[in-house]
Amino acid sequence: MNPLVDLDSAARVAQQIGDYSGTFAFAVSGAVLGVRANYDIVGIAVLACATAVGGGIIRDLIIGNVPPTAFVDMRYVAIALAAALLIFLWRPRIRLATRALDITDAAGLGIFAVTGTVTAHAAGLGAPSAAFLGVVTAVGGGVIRDVLAGEHPSVLRHDKEIYALPALFGAAITATALELGYYTALVGLLAAAGAFTLRILALRYGWRAPRPRRPPEASNPA
> Under the rule (CB under 8 A), what is the footprint of its own copies?
34-44, 46-47, 57, 61-64, 66-68, 71-72, 74, 77, 88-89, 91-95, 98, 123, 125-126, 128-129, 132-133, 139, 143, 147-150, 152-153, 155-158, 162-165, 208-215, 217-218, 221-222
Q: CA 32, CA 91: separation in Å to the nearest integer?
A: 9
Q: What is the closest distance, in whole angstroms, from the C-beta atom of residue 51 to its own copies in the complex?
A: 12
Which of residues 187 and 203 has its CB atom nearest to its own copies in the complex? Answer: 203
Buried b (16+ CB within 10 A) or exposed e, 194-219: bbbebbbebbeeeeeeeeeeeeeeee
Which of residues 39 and 189 has its CB atom nearest to its own copies in the complex? Answer: 39
Which of residues 8 and 40 has its CB atom nearest to its own copies in the complex? Answer: 40
Q: What is the closest distance, in whole angstroms, from the C-beta atom of residue 178 to its own copies in the complex?
A: 16
Find the helix packing angle between 127-148 and 41-63, rounded to 10°. 160
- Which residues 6+ apart lie within 8 Å of 35 measured at CB? 44, 87, 88, 91, 92, 97
Q: What is the closest distance, in whole angstroms, from the C-beta atom of residue 19 to its own copies in the complex?
A: 17
Q: What is the closest distance, in whole angstroms, from the C-beta atom of residue 72 to its own copies in the complex?
A: 6
The separation between CA 82 and the C-alpha centre of its own chain, rounded to angstroms, equals 18
Backbone angles phi, psi at 209, to 5 degrees: -80, 155
Q: What is the closest distance, in whole angstroms, from the C-beta atom of residue 94 to its own copies in the complex?
A: 6
Which of residues 149 and 189 has its CB atom nearest to its own copies in the complex? Answer: 149
The type of residue at 152 is H
Q: What share of the chain is helix, strand, coil (3-state, %, to 5)?
A: 75, 0, 25
Which of residues 6 and 64 has its CB atom nearest to its own copies in the complex? Answer: 64
